[in-house]
Amino acid sequence: MENTIDLRIVKRSNPTKHYVIQDYTNGRTQIREEGKVLKFGHKADAKAYRDKVRGAVERKELQLNQRYKFKDVFLLMAEERMKFARDKTKKLTKQGVRSYLSYSKRQIAKYFPDIYLDELDAMSLEQFAITCDKNGVTYKTVKDIIQHIHTALRWMMVKKYHHNFSSALNWRIYQQHHLLPVDRDDQHEKKTEVITNAEANAVLAYAEKHRHRSPDDALTYGIFIILACFGLRPSEIQGLHRSNFNFEKRFVTIKGAYLGREGGYRNRTKTDESYRPLDYTKIQAEHIEWINDYMLKYSPHNPYFFPASRLGHDQQHHPVSQYKVRKLVYAAYEACGLAKLEWFTKRKTEQYKIIECRFKGGPMKCWRHYNATSMIDNMFELGLTPNYIKSRLGHSRWQTTQDRYGNHNLGVSDEMRMERAEKVGKALGFNK
């Protein structure tokens, strides 16, 4: 900052007469202390403080806040998050941060070219949403970008780039009825398909019947058993170690995840709540112990519960690859009539192309939804509490569990549907 600064005393009258000091050196900002605008009852006090600040700046004992452009600080935040993501001990992942970098280059720099932090407010976000809509950007994308912007603004406040973004942070696109798409389906993310009870039983029966044929069939069986029992995330399944299981007391502890794009296993979970113990029954234990015994004979030195068939390029043990997991899952779906695939050989490797599958894009996610929906649909009959269900899924809030999984139904028989209708009718007074 230059030695000569432009500090001006300005009189205000709302709610009562007072004086503030404004810095015009780099635009127009008000002098603050601990995030609050300094107010003086007398002009002489304001002058004395102004002279004090000016002297401190000229002696380089103090540097006043400069004005920053929103796009520049957003990019700075994205780059910092990517730096942390490269550190395996941190909670951020490169995959999760890439969206910030992408939005920074494609949308933020384009739609916020010259907006300073002190100018960013609710109207700025509304104008951004309107402009995006005119340019053909989907509602879902705009909503996602707004969420990223809110995260960035909170980061900027913590880093003291700006003290207050209350106006922008309180703006919600779903509350702006004039911005909502006419087609309701365009307002929401595509729902994950849930595998039905009949379909799940058919897949499990198929996998169990053929588990002795080969290591791949044993892997297929094991993957579906773990999916059905616990509804784990794919990265959590890969990250399972034999040491995670307490076979005597029948529980497994989810301690980490395997993220191939992030450099391998991370001894941490997606959230703090995702670090969790999961109990299982005696019947489930028979399946799980069979899998463990088989894999121990198949690959005795690999610590992963689902081991790769050979050492990696780094000569280290790894779990079965995500590609192979998906390949085995889709192959089982095809065998059970739930998918249509085209198989071909490329570079001496058998590969597949999905022609038709209801679970395309989330072949394992549908089992997590199946697990969660089964608990939610039967929570009252089984005496399950919301706290238990959310904890089992690794969520911090029941609302997250309910919003994500509570809108599914695994299929209700006609008898059960009519029984529920009778109960509702009686509750409404139609009991004669």
Q: Could you report the per-residue pLDDT of 272-312, keeping only the tens digit for each?
A: 777 889 999 999 999 999 999 999 999 999 999 999 988 77
Decide which of 365, 380, 396 is a domain's last residue.
365
* DSSP assignments along 333-361, one per residue: HHHTTSEEEEEEEETTEEEEEEEEETTTT
CATH number of 126's domain: 1.10.150
C-alpha to C-alpha distance for 163 and 159, rounded to whole angstroms: 9
Q: Are residues 179 and 110 in the same domain?
A: yes
Looking at per-residue pLDDT, the higher value among 416 and 422 belongs to 422
pLDDT digits (tens, 9 = 90+) for 351-360: 999 999 999 8
Share of the chain above pLDDT 70, in %: 83
Same domain, 250 and 138: no
* Banded pLDDT at 339 (limits 50, 70, 90): very high
Domain count, the chain: 3
pLDDT tens digits for range 214-247? 999 999 999 999 999 999 989 899 999 999 999 9
Examine residue 15 and state whether it is found in any structural domain, yes or no.
yes
The residue with greater pLDDT, 207 or 16, is: 207
Quick one: 80 and 228 in the same domain? no
SS3 258: strand
Q: Is the peptide bond before 307 cis (omega within 30 degrees of 0)?
A: no
pLDDT band at 77 (very low <50, low <70, confident <90, very high): confident
Greatest mean pLDDT among 5-9, 68-72, 133-137, 303-307: 303-307
Half-sphere exposure of 404 (CA within 13 A, CB side): 17
Query: 246 and 268 in one domain?
Result: yes
Listing DSSP states for 366-393 in one string gives HHHHHHHHHHHHTHHHHT--HHHHHHHH
Q: Is 105 a member of any domain?
A: yes
pLDDT-derived band at 3 (thresholds 50, 70, 90) equals very low
CA dihedral 331, 337, 340, 342 (to 10 degrees): 50
Residue after which a domain boundary falls, among 365, 391, 412:
365
Can you list the pairs that 263-270 forms with residues at least 24 positions away whose Cβ atoms lie under 8 Å? Answer: 263/88, 264/318, 265/239, 265/319, 266/88, 266/239, 268/89, 268/91, 269/236, 269/394, 270/233, 270/235, 270/394
223 and 336 housed in the same domain:
yes
Q: What band does 73 get if pLDDT is binned at 50, 70 and 90? A: confident
Confidence of residue 396 (pLDDT cuts 50, 70, 90): confident
Tell whether 214 and 352 lie within a shared domain: yes
261-282: average pLDDT: 77
Residues 225 and 321 reside in one and the same domain: yes
Contacts of 253 (CB under 8 A, 6+ apart): 244, 246, 275, 276, 277, 278
The answer to whether residues 223 and 91 belong to one domain is no
Residue 144 sits in the same domain as residue 216: no
pLDDT at 218: 96
Identify the CATH number of the domain in which residue 273 sits: 1.10.443.10
Mean pLDDT of 75-88: 77
Provide the pLDDT for residue 2: 44
**Domain for residue 415, yes or no?**
no
- CB within 8 Å of 76: residues ≥ 6 apart: none
Q: Do residues 99 and 217 both lie within one domain?
A: no
Evaluate whether residue 250 is within a structural domain: yes
- Same domain? For 101 and 48 the reply is no
Question: In the predicted model, what is the mean pLDDT of the chain?
Answer: 83
Q: How many alpha carbons fall within 13 Å on the CB side of residue 417?
A: 6
Q: Measure CA 210 to chain center.
A: 36
Residue 9: burial class (beta carbons within 10 Å; 0-12, 13-18, 19+)? middle
Condensed to tens digits (0 to 9), the pLDDT of residues 113-169 reads: 888 887 888 999 999 999 988 888 888 888 889 988 998 898 888 877 776 788 888
Tell me, yes or no, whether 26 and 84 share the same domain.
Answer: no
Segments forming the whole domain that contains residue 311: 197-365
Residue 154 lies in a domain: yes
